[in-house]
Amino acid sequence: MTENIGVLGKKSQRRSGAERVVNAPLPTVYGKFQAIGYLDHDRGDEQVALVHGEIGTDDVLVRLHSECLTGDAFGSQHCECGDQLASAMRAVVAEGSGVVVYLRGHEGRGIGLLGKLRAMALQAEGLDTVEANLALGLPVDARDYGVAAQILHDLGVRSVRLMSNNPRKREALVRHGIQVTEQVPLLIEPCESNITYLRTKRERMDHHLPHLDAVGHGS
């Protein structure tokens, strides 16, 4: 009986939420950041917030960037993720302060790297990004932004100017207690390889991409 109580006691002490683990200087080609590392005890993911300057508490310029190996590391033109990350880091430095929360576990809008590559293979055969996920029996968007809100709370941020074209990110932050005072567009010039993908995000996922109006459908 005593042993069982001990086991239960250990279970009851299990941590949850995002725990700040380390803070290290990170000089980048865009400017100097502090890389603040977190452990998400709920999902087991390691997360990082890149903080530039003295951010304060209100109207902080923030980007929630979903991990994208192909775009962020390999320079894929299938999406605009790599360019968005670079633009966000430049914007934060130009502002003088701000935060880029890099969200691991968000690969392929939450379906993982292999799931994303399978979806990309189907897109090469003519399906759009939504149809491809559904054809694989996967959700269109499985991302959760709760840990991002926890990280912002830990950094003392109460309200943000959110760099995003995705209304769901704004809704998620508000739901988790972070005010969004402005949604700042993060528009990347499309190319032949990603124009169909971007149009699908606008037409089927409600992303605000007004710059696509200037691109002819024959592109």
- How far apart are alpha carbons 148 and 60 in whole angstroms? 14
What is the per-residue DSSP string for 143-170?
---HHHHHHHHHTT--EEEEE-S-HHHH
- How far apart are alpha carbons 1 and 8 in whole angstroms? 11
> Which residue in 141, 161, 168, 213 is the catalytic one?
141
Active site residue 143: yes
What letter does residue 194 receive in the DSSP assignment?
T
Q: Given CA atoms 91, 169, 33, 80 in this order, what sign does their dihedral have?
A: negative
- Phi first, then psi, for residue 117 (nearest 5°) are -65, -35
Q: Coil, strand or helix: which one is 181?
A: strand
> Which residue in 118, 143, 161, 170 is the catalytic one?
143
Q: Coil, strand or helix: which one is 33?
A: strand
CA 51 vs. chain centroid, Å, equals: 15
Q: Which residues contact 116 (CB under 8 A, 6 or more apart)?
A: 70, 107, 108, 109
Annotated catalytic residues are: 141, 143
